Structure formats: structure tokens, C-alpha cells
């Protein structure tokens, strides 16, 4: 039996799969991409389906309600900021 968990995501934009098989280096959850549509007119960006709503303090999530990949400080190709903590 497979368990499924519903996770809250950004309410605007179309949510699509990022590169097939792409996974967060911190938690191995699936990476999604938010693209134009459904009221969103900005640049496309990626989110970890788990870390977006459960941001780790050590990677920029302290006080943040949500954490898209571009705000994460992990040593990850999806993170746009530079962090001092690398992901094993």
C-alpha cells in the first residue's frame, strides 16, 4: 500500500513536474516547477514539495512561512543563494 500526503503549495501558477526524477537534495522529495498561469505572471521557479511548506532553519527557512528553492541556502543546483552548509 502506498501512502500519499497532501502538501500545501503556492496558490498561483501552474504546478508541473520539474525534470523527471528531480529530487530535493535535503529530503529527497519530488521537485516541482511553478510556471505562468492561474494568476501568476512572474518567472518560473522550482519548489521542493516538502521543504516549501516545511522550511529548514539552517537553510534560510527561519521565520519564513514558505521556502522556494531560489531562497534556499543549501549547496544545491536549484538553490540560488550561497550557503555555508553543504548537502551530502
Asked, for residue 52, whether it belongs to a domain, the answer is yes
Asked, for residue 14, whether it belongs to a domain, the answer is no
Counting the structural domains of the chain, the total is: 1
CA atoms of 77 and 68, how far apart (whole Å): 13
Asked, for residue 57, whether it belongs to a domain, the answer is yes
Q: How confident is the model at residue 81 (pLDDT cuts 50, 70, 90)?
A: low
Asked, for residue 20, whether it belongs to a domain, the answer is no
In this model, does residue 37 exceed pLDDT 80? yes
Asked, for residue 1, whether it belongs to a domain, the answer is no
Residue 71 backbone phi and psi in degrees, to 5: -100, -5
pTM of structure: 0.73
Asked, for residue 17, whether it belongs to a domain, the answer is no
Asked, for residue 73, whether it belongs to a domain, the answer is yes
Mean pLDDT of 23-29: 89
Q: List the domain range (segments joined by +) for residue 70.
A: 25-88
| Residue 74 confidence (pLDDT) | 87
Asked, for residue 77, whether it belongs to a domain, the answer is yes
Amino acid at each position: 500500500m502506498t501512502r500519499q500526503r497532501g502538501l500545501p503549495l503556492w496558490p498561483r501558477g501552474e504546478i508541473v513536474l520539474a525534470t523527471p526524477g528531480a529530487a530535493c537534495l535535503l529530503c529527497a522529495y519530488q521537485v516541482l516547477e511553478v510556471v505562468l498561469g492561474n494568476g501568476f505572471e512572474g518567472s518560473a521557479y522550482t519548489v521542493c514539495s516538502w521543504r516549501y511548506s516545511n522550511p529548514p532553519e539552517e537553510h534560510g527557512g527561519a521565520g519564513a512561512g514558505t521556502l522556494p528553492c531560489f531562497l534556499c541556502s543549501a549547496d544545491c543546483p536549484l538553490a540560488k543563494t550561497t550557503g555555508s552548509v553543504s548537502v551530502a
